[in-house]
Amino acid sequence: MNPLTGLYGAAVALRNTLFDRSVLSSRRLEQPAVSVGNLAVGGSGKTPFVIALGELLTARGIRFDVLSRGYGRKTRGVLIVDPDGNAANFGDEPLLIARRLRVPVIVGESRYEAGRLAERKFYSQLHILDDGFQHRSLARDFDIVLMTERDFDDRLLPSGRLREPLSSLRRADAVVLPADQAATTSRRDAACRVSLGALQQKPIWRVKRELVLPNLPPAPVSPIVFCGIARPEQFFAQARAAGITPAAEIEFRDHHAYDKRDIARLLAMRAKLGGDGFLTTEKDAVNLGGLQEELKPLAVATLQLTLDHPADIVDAILAPTIFARIREQKPRS
């Protein structure tokens, strides 16, 4: 094992202990905060889950905003995301969330300051804290942690992809696992693999991930498939499962900001291999911006999540304490 992993683990344990013992404090916003996070670095579907949860809350008539760090942006400070803006100013994932949900999305290094701005400017009843499990300086009312099967066998950074040990799941109020892993990962089996039974008595929610290809004909095609996401192999596998026969599969780093050189590389690949167009993810389309026009025909795949028993999930999040805080809010005059 990389010796740095031991040092990293010790630092994480110390930080969590300081928060647990209130040596380091968490500030609380006036409105309830629901965190959507994970233990691993990227690839668990946090952004699609935030969108799916937001759609459920909208259907319930709950007014909410989304607070995000805005990873990868070139700006600083607290900003309200303009859905017509660009990823360089706000980050690709916050911009995607703003475009899909059409609710206030606020980015900031401090999610507390982002929330304070939201409370001054918008009459939201609830905050969704995007990628917030490790952001313990902001108190939350409900913690949702997304996991994948591989996370249970992974190691801490830098040897693996885990930002925290599995035992940190004790802080979670609910754990989300892919529905297609239900046969191999039961609550009991997972709990046995986590130190100190971190999953015991935790609600485990199931979610189905489906790749939607609205811009492609029913017949299989052979596009150049490319993406810059945390786990590109998942996207490539989903594309093949959807009937796509890729002429090539090209990986870029996560949150990749595309430029003219990337476009030239992709066009050269299509000319060489004869691919009939391009296929990429919704997140990559955000990072392409106006460069999309140079890759026509370009199909943009959307990852949609379907939650098992969604009404029960919303009921669990809007627990009596949270619901009471929502009802206490006075209408804006």
Q: Please, is 326 exposed, middle or buried when counting C-beta atoms within 10 Å of its C-beta (0-12, 13-18, 19+)?
A: middle
- Provide the pLDDT for residue 196: 44
- The pLDDT profile of the chain, 333 residues, written as one tens digit per residue, is 788 999 999 999 999 999 999 999 999 999 999 999 999 998 789 999 999 999 999 999 999 999 999 999 999 999 999 999 999 999 999 999 999 999 999 999 999 999 999 999 998 999 999 999 999 999 999 999 999 888 988 999 999 999 999 999 999 999 999 886 544 445 445 545 554 466 777 899 999 988 888 666 654 578 999 999 999 999 999 999 988 999 999 999 999 999 999 999 999 999 999 888 999 999 999 999 999 999 999 999 998 899 999 999 999 999 888 888 887 775 554
Q: Are 266 and 250 in contact (CB under 8 A)?
A: yes
Is residue 79 classed as helix, strand or coil in its secondary structure? strand
| Residue 330 token pair | 């006075």
- Provide the pLDDT for residue 213: 84
**Taking the C-alpha atoms of 111, 113, 118 and 124 in order, what is their torsion angle to the nearest 10 degrees?**
60
- Provide the pLDDT for residue 240: 92
Cα angle for residues 296, 297, 302 (degrees, 5° grid): 110
Domain limits, the chain = 3-208+307-328, 216-296
Strands (E), the chain: 33-38, 64-68, 79-80, 105-107, 126-130, 142-146, 174-178, 204-212, 224-227, 248-251, 278-281, 298-307
Beta-strand relationship, 174-178 and 224-227: unpaired
Q: How many CB atoms lie within 10 A of CB 89?
A: 16
Angle between helix 310-317 and 46-59 (nearest 10)? 90
Q: Are 33 and 116 in contact (CB under 8 A)?
A: no
Judged by phi (left if over 0) then psi (alpha if -120 to 50, else beta), residue 160 lies in beta
- Residues 6 or more apart in contact with residue 135 via CB below 8 angstroms: 35, 37, 69, 111, 129
The CATH number of 3-208+307-328, from 3.40.50.300, 3.40.50.720, 3.40.50.1820, 3.90.1150.10, is 3.40.50.300
- Provide the pLDDT for residue 184: 47
Q: How far is 48 from 96, CA to CA, in rounded Å?
A: 10
Q: Are 66 and 176 in contact (CB under 8 A)?
A: no
- Provide the pLDDT for residue 51: 97
pTM of the model: 0.91
Buried b (16+ CB within 10 A) or exposed e, 164-196: bbbebbbbbbbbbbbbebeeebeeeebbeebee
